[in-house]
Structure 1
Amino acid sequence: MGVLEHKGRARVFYKYLSQVYDRINPFIWNEEMRDEAIGWLELDGDERVLDVGCGTGFATEGLLQHVETVYGLDQSPHQLEKAYAKFGRSGPVRFTRGDAERLPYQDDTFDVVWSSGSIEYWPNPVDALEEIRRVAAPGGKVLIVGPDYPSNTVFQKLADAIMLFYDEDEADRMFREAGFESFEHHIQQARPGSPRAITTVATVPEQ
């Protein structure tokens, strides 16, 4: 387990990262990548959408171009403060401070569950994916963005020491163990040589 796959350390990390997050993020996960991923969801505007690990609201902004309301959840109070400054506390985003492994929502609540840049910090990603499947309605969509495992051996060792990086085979395992049967992976990259993202779009099994 990487050093940041620990909830307390991740909160401290984001206390400082929140100050520069919106300036750094576009070098790794930019609007073009975000909008491409949103396009795979084929939103029609009526969906109830949850953004798990919403952070400062970068993905939330994109989702709000397609739906009227987004539910945003994050464990970092510092990231949420930045999000409040963008959207207000009672605007189109309904914020909750909470844990991806214990989502404070009822079963089958959401048509779409989105999470970008969060899975790499989850101590138990399969548990969190099971929770996401629980709160998503049967037939709904789940989209998860995480860091693709580097091909260079040196970078692999560094990645393993910091947080979760994973390839398509590992993504297959995690999603299957969480109860998903239908999913596909996409590799996204801001520019040649920049870190790659692995984006999985899954369909929630019908009950």
Structure 2
Amino acid sequence: MGFLENKARARVFYRYFSNLYDTVNPFIWNEQMRDQALEWFDIETGDRVLDVGCGTGFATEGILQYTDDVHGLDQSGGQLSKAFAKFGRDGDVRFYRGDAERLPFADDTFDKLWSSGSIEYWPNPVAALEEFRRVTKPGGTVLVVGPDYPDSVVFQKLADAIMLFYDEDEGDRMFTEAGYEEFEHHIQQRKPGTPRAITTVATVPETEPDAETESPVPSP
């Protein structure tokens, strides 16, 4: 497990990195990549969408171009404070502070769920993907963007020491274990030589593969 695949360490990291996030992010995950992913996400007018790991709201801004029923969740107070500065605490987006592995929403609350730049920090990615399936309506779309595994052995060792990087085979394993039957991976890159993103678009099964036992909580 990488150093930042620890919730307490990740919170401390983002307490400081949030001040630089919007400056650094375009060099790794820019508007063109986001907008391409939004096309795959295929939001319809009126869809209720949850952005997990919303951070400062970079992806949230793109989602708002398609629907006005948008909700953002992040575990970092530093990141959320930047999002509040953009959108307001009572603006177009309703924000929550919470954990991707224990989402504070009832079953089938959202039509679609988006998460970009967050999976790499989750200690248990399969548990979070199961939560995504739980809170998204059957037939709905779940889109997850994470860092693609480097080709270089040296960079692989460095990546493994920091946080989760994964390839398509590992993506297959995680999504299958989490109960998804239909999904596809896309590799995105700002330009040759820059870090690659692996973007997975999955469909929530119409029937649950196993019984859910969690008690529902109020919808937003």
Measured in 1, the distance between the counterparts of 2:22 and 2:111 equals 28
What is the Cα deviation at residue 45 of structure 1? 1.2
- The equivalent residue for 1:98 is 98
List gaps (5 residues or longer) in structure 1: none
- The equivalent residue for 2:38 is 38
- The equivalent residue for 2:27 is 27
Measured in 2, the distance between the counterparts of 1:69 and 1:140 equals 15
Normalized against structure 1, the TM-score is what?
0.99
Superposed CA offset, 1:133-176 (max 9, x none): 00000000000000000000000000000000000000000000
Measured in 1, the distance between the counterparts of 2:199 and 2:41 equals 12
Measured in 1, the distance between the counterparts of 2:56 and 2:190 equals 20
Write the mapping of 1:30-179 to structure 2, written as runs, cut at 5 A. Answer: 30-179=30-179
Contact 2:144 2:201 in 1 (8 A): yes
The DSSP-based 3-state class of the residue aligned with 1:66 is coil
- The equivalent residue for 2:186 is 186
Measured in 2, the distance between the counterparts of 1:71 and 1:43 equals 14
The percent identity for this pair of structures is 74
Measured in 1, the distance between the counterparts of 2:51 and 2:123 equals 19
Superposed CA offset, 1:96-148 (max 9, x none): 00000000000000010000000000000000000010000000000000000
Tell which deviates more after alignment, 160-169 or 38-47: 38-47
List gaps (5 residues or longer) in structure 2: 208-220
Quick one: which amino acid aligns to residue 26 of structure 1?
A: P
Measured in 2, the distance between the counterparts of 1:43 and 1:5 equals 30
How well do the aligned residues superpose, as a CA RMSD in angstroms?
Answer: 0.5
Quick one: which amino acid aligns to residue 94 of structure 1?
A: R
What is the Cα deviation at residue 69 of structure 1? 2.2
- The equivalent residue for 2:196 is 196
Measured in 1, the distance between the counterparts of 2:72 and 2:65 equals 15
The DSSP-based 3-state class of the residue aligned with 1:140 is strand
The DSSP-based 3-state class of the residue aligned with 2:146 is strand
Measured in 2, the distance between the counterparts of 1:70 and 1:13 equals 26
Measured in 1, the distance between the counterparts of 2:27 and 2:72 equals 23
Aligned length: 207
